[in-house]
């Protein structure tokens, strides 16, 4: 079942296994997925070509997901939706600086796909 309409999603996750699962699930649903394995690489990818959605792990090397989120909100494309991922259970993390949504790890790939689809539908 295809969900995406080719929207570009930037996935920033330092855990390779989680990143690969997310990339596979979103790609199979019809989204174009770019990946980054740390916060600085995510920020550089965002600056080069802002995507339609960013999926950000909060705890990453070089720049945290929170730092990347702050930079996105101060950028030339501040309205790009951002879904934060974290092993921390505190649901309000990041909302005060502009996160669109938040998912606690561990999560199921289907739940992630449903959230991504909903966020992109709202952003249309």
Domain ranges of the chain: 8-123
- Say whether pLDDT at 2 is over 90: no
The pTM for the full model equals 0.93
Residue-level pLDDT at 27? 96
Strand partners, 104: 86
* Domain 8-123: assigned CATH number: 3.40.50.2300
Q: For the segment 73-121, what is each residue's pLDDT rounded down to a tens digit?
A: 999 999 999 999 988 766 566 778 899 999 988 999 999 999 999 999 9
CA–CA separation, 123 and 10 (whole Å): 16
pLDDT of residue 65 exceeding 80:
yes
Compare 51 and 87 and report the one with higher pLDDT: 51
Burial of residue 84, with CB atoms counted within 10 A of its CB: 0-12 exposed, 13-18 middle, 19 or more buried: buried
């Amino acid at each position: 079942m295809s969900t995406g309409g080719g929207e570009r999603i930037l996935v920033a996750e330092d855990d390779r296994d989680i990143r690969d699962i997310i990339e596979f699930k979103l790609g199979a649903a019809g989204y174009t997925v770019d990946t980054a394995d740390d916060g600085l690489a995510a920020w550089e990818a965002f600056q080069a070509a802002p995507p339609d959605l960013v999926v950000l792990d909060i705890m990453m090397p070089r720049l945290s997901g929170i730092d990347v989120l702050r930079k996105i909100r101060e950028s030339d494309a501040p309205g790009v939706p951002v879904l934060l991922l974290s092993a921390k259970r505190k649901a309000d993390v990041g909302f005060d600086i502009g996160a669109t949504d938040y998912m606690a790890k561990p999560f199921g790939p289907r739940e992630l796909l449903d959230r991504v689809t909903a966020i992109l539908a709202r952003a249309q």
